[in-house]
Amino acid sequence: MDKIVKYINTQTNNKYQNLLFFGAVLSQNTSTMQIKFDIDDKSLKSQENVEELKELCKKYLCSYINKIEIIFKNCSLTMEEFKDVCKIVLNNYFSLSNTELSNIVFNFNDEITKIIVPIKFSILNNPEVNDIIKDIKNEISSKTNQNVEIEFEESSTTSLNLLDDRKSQILEDTMIDEVMNKNKKVELSNIERVFGDFDSSNAYLAGSLIDEPENEIISVVGVLKSVDIRETKPKEAEEGKRQLSPRKYLSFELEYDGETTKCILFFTKDMAEPIMPNLDSIVVVQGKFNNFNGNSSIRVSSIAKCTFVPPQKVYRSAPSNYRYVKPEPYEFTEQINFFLQDEVTKKDYLLNNTFIVYDLETTGIKPELNYIIDIGAFKIVKGKIVEKFSTFVNPECEIPEEASKVNRITNKLVENSPTIDMVLPDFYKFCEGSIIVGYNNINFDDLFIAKESKRLSYNFDNKRDDVFNIAKKNILGLKNYKLSTVCQAENVPLIDAHRAINDALATAKLFIKLVEKYY
């Protein structure tokens, strides 16, 4: 329990035992602190209770604060969730290069929330600025059910810096793409004809073809898998038209490093069926690249056996700067000694390592079929939470109703969010040099990250730890080991579970606490 909530209940004989602390904002100019709580019992939100809480907080804080304001949250989002939604909306209007999202100021009060947005270059003279403010205000109000006021504040960063940043990004991306493209092709040797006239000395690796021009003649090499003889099934011809006959064809796949390319060889009249090499042989084909209804394949004209030297695996490096999701300092006032214990850790594991504690929300439970829609993560340095990384992710598909019932994330909420292709490079940069931690992450979250990182060629080879395993090993006798159960047993707050940023924060606090107790 937070220290201030514990103090309040000690003074009131547990009158506010279900009181939740959501955050505090301190004005250094006026020494006024706004403290935000929530409690299920509406009868305890009266003005009389507000005054009582105000006096208790004043006594607790002694002479540190001149004035206390008590606010009960009145929307379905926590303060941090509200901030995240606002930043996602703002980023849809101004790219990360054009706004300083980490420096946005939120002034909370009972009636309206004022949001002050620093803009890296002035658009205040733009004739459409008032319409932009109105649109942002309406979208945030719609998504959060809160009254907001938007104010733009010009930042000193010049547009010249932004242009230089953009040029650097383009150059960096071009260099990465050149390296990745070179890694798609290999030189062939020991070529033995199987069918047709194969006439190439190099080939693409199976699974590496994504955006090749339609009908271009290309060569693809890989390990032979799943050979079948099949027949087309023509639709019944309309009256007066000639009925097409079934066509026999050979269907097989070439595989490399878990990725596959489908190959099809149509038989012509009087053509002898080719004698295919054994499964798991290395085979190269030549033919036209075909993409039908999003399914790519090779219309084969020749087949050969061969050998090749597998290329050295090339991974993308982290971008030099964050592109779409910029980490923010973890500055909850609850971290100030007013509210939580502020002891310096003596545990070598915490002192000598940096940790990223993260959580995902997804469209389902199967990594091979489902997609990430929410990432929340916190960085721990020397036993303290210092930074957070949070974003919704557009899965580019419909979110199933069953998933939305669990995590309350809807299609509307993510429709303007960055895709995983945009988010993952920034998350990779955030995780560099850290031990990655989660709650049952090894059996769930890590599998989703592994799928996407393999597709995008990022190597998340960080050491891993799992709070679920720590808890199961050391906390005996619990009815189950769900995150909520373990948090309750260890008096760690878990507010609005099944949202990535909230679960990640609870997991980070739980991780620190369990390491302090059991390592």
For the annotated catalytic residues, the residue numbers are: 498
Helix axes 500-518, 79-93, angle to 10 degrees: 130
What are the CA-CA distances from residue 234 to residues 238, 248, 293, 421 (Å)?
A: 12, 12, 17, 39
Strand 67-72 to 32-38 pairing: parallel
Token pair of 429, please?
Answer: 């940069």
C-alpha span between 143 and 76 (Å, rounded): 10
- Give the list of residues 6+ apart from residue 195 with CB closer than 8 angstroms, or none: 265, 274, 300, 302, 303
- Of 240, 356, 339, 412, nearest to 22 by C-alpha is 339
Provide DSSP, 42-72.
GGGGSHHHHHHHHHHHHHHHTTS-SEEEEEE
Residue 185: helix, strand or coil by DSSP?
strand
Start-to-end CA span in the chain (Å): 22
Q: DSSP label at 343?
A: P
What are the CA-CA distances from residue 459 to residues 6, 195, 285 (Å)?
A: 44, 39, 30
Token pair of 166, please?
Answer: 């953009």
Decide: 218 and 225 in contact? Cβ < 8 Å: no
Token pair 């319409």: residue:
131
Side-chain half-sphere CA neighbours of 282 within 13 A: 16
- Give the list of residues 6+ apart from residue 36 with CB closer than 8 angstroms, or none: 21, 22, 23, 24, 71, 72, 73, 79, 108
Strand 464-466 to 435-438 pairing: parallel
